[in-house]
Chains A and B, each alone.
Chain A
Amino acid sequence: MIKFGVVVFPGANCDYDAYYAAKKTLGHDAEFLWHKSRSLNGADVIILPGGFSYGDYLRAGAIAKFSPIVEEIINFAERGGIVIGICNGFQILLEMGLLPGAMLKNKSLKFVCKNVYIKIASRDNIFTNKITEKNILKIPIAHGEGNYFADDDVISELKKNSQIVFQYSDSGGKITEESNPNGSIMNIAGITNKRKNVLGLMPHPERACEPLLGSGDGALIFNSVINNLIK
């Protein structure tokens, strides 16, 4: 049984969704980890959930990076531990420096909340390598600041190392401007670090883990991780 640790920051609002998905839908163990804790309590996978940590003051994720638990998460990631940052969690990973780049306000200036299609751009990582069912996943997004930005050098590094994991696409997998909901460079929806044990993505897989919710595709990502760990 895999143990997911769901970090709770003040202002997080997808922590229960992540907990529910891990425990009830995927059938594994899950535990909330308060941001002031200095222990990860033996979790195998750390989830930084979505929400508005510290009210998104200053910049999304900017203040959460100083929470006591963050130091433990950085150590955990440096030892190869698996970390998944979803939406605000992705923004926090960028501010922490575990992933490269930064988030800007959506190009449209609107908060966008809808189902989108994301194409699996790389399977050279534990988050997608066990997904055999499909190449295009239907998963919801809900953010106002998901416009991924990085300079040209970082983008070419990401490409070279196959660190771009998900790109916004149409339902057929075509990467188009119309299917880009926020203006991200190269339609980027999710990336990993170079070592490929840390994933950040704007779409919410935890909200799409059972068909009743409109899509079960999010579970494919978590199950890919689980299958890698169980082997």
Chain B
Amino acid sequence: MFKAIVIIRKRPKILDPEGKAVEQGAKLLGFNNVRNTRIGKYVEFFVNTENKEDAEKEVYEYCNKLLANPIIEDFEYRLENVE
């Protein structure tokens, strides 16, 4: 079995008003060095197979077809072997 950890980011060219608003909060708290806050998504789940290639394929399809919208988002993932 594998544990999949997926990070979904807005594409660099896509504006992120949520990140901007949060960064205004950072400024108010005095975190003056904070720059370019961007907000994405973190997803984790298990993949019930012993074959890493199969797991990779399934995770990739899951990301591409549902978890991320490829028009506006990029994704990356890693797999951890779990007992």
Q: A102-B69, A107-B15 are in contact. List 14 more A-B contacts (CB 8 A).
A: A58-B67, A59-B69, A66-B66, A95-B69, A101-B71, A102-B72, A104-B72, A105-B17, A105-B18, A108-B17, A109-B17, A150-B71, A151-B71, A183-B17
Report the interface size for chain A: residues with CB under 8 A from the other chain.
Answer: 17
Binary per-residue interface labels of chain B (1-39) against chain A in the complex, 1 for a CB within 8 Å, 0 otherwise: 000000000000011011001000000000000000000
Q: How many residues of B contact A (CB 8 A)?
A: 10
Quick one: given A104-B14, A109-B17, A183-B15, are A149 and B67 in contact (CB under 8 Å)? no
Q: Are A109 and B72 in contact (CB under 8 A)?
A: no
> 13 interchain pairs (CB within 8 A)?
A58-B67, A62-B66, A66-B66, A102-B69, A102-B71, A104-B14, A104-B72, A107-B15, A108-B17, A109-B18, A149-B14, A149-B72, A183-B15
Given A62-B66, A104-B15, A183-B15: A109 and B71 interface contact (C-beta under 8 Å)? no
Most chain B Cβ neighbours within 10 Å, of A101, A106, A149: A149
Q: Which residues of the partner chain B approach A109 to less than 8 Å between Cβ atoms?
A: 17-18, 21
- Cα(A104)–Cα(B71), bound, Å: 11
Which of A58, A59, A95, A107 is B17 in contact with, Cβ under 8 Å? Answer: A107
Residue-wise, chain A 181-218 has the 8 Å CB interface mask toward B (1 for contact) of 00100000000000000000000000000000000000
A58 in contact with B66 given A104-B14, A105-B17, A109-B21 (CB within 8 Å): yes
Which residue of B is nearest A103, CB measured? Answer: B72
Contact digits for A117-129, partner B, Cβ 8 Å, 1 yes 0 no = 0000000000000
- Residues of B within 8 Å of A95, CB to CB, are 69
Q: How far is the CA of A104 from the CA of B18 in the complex (A)?
A: 10
A117 to B14, CA, bound (A): 26
CB distance from A132 to the nearest CB of B (A): 36
List the B side residues contacting A149 at CB < 8 Å.
14, 71-72
The residue of chain A having its C-beta at the shortest distance from the C-beta of B70 within the complex is A102
> What's the least CB distance linking A86 to chain B, in Å?
20
Residues in A147-190 with C-beta less than 8 Å from chain B: 149-151, 183
A residues 87-140 near B (Cβ < 8 Å) are: 95, 101-102, 104-109
Chain A residues with Cβ below 8 Å from B14 are 104, 149
Bound-complex Cα distance A183 to B69 (A): 19
CB distance from A55 to the nearest CB of B (A): 15
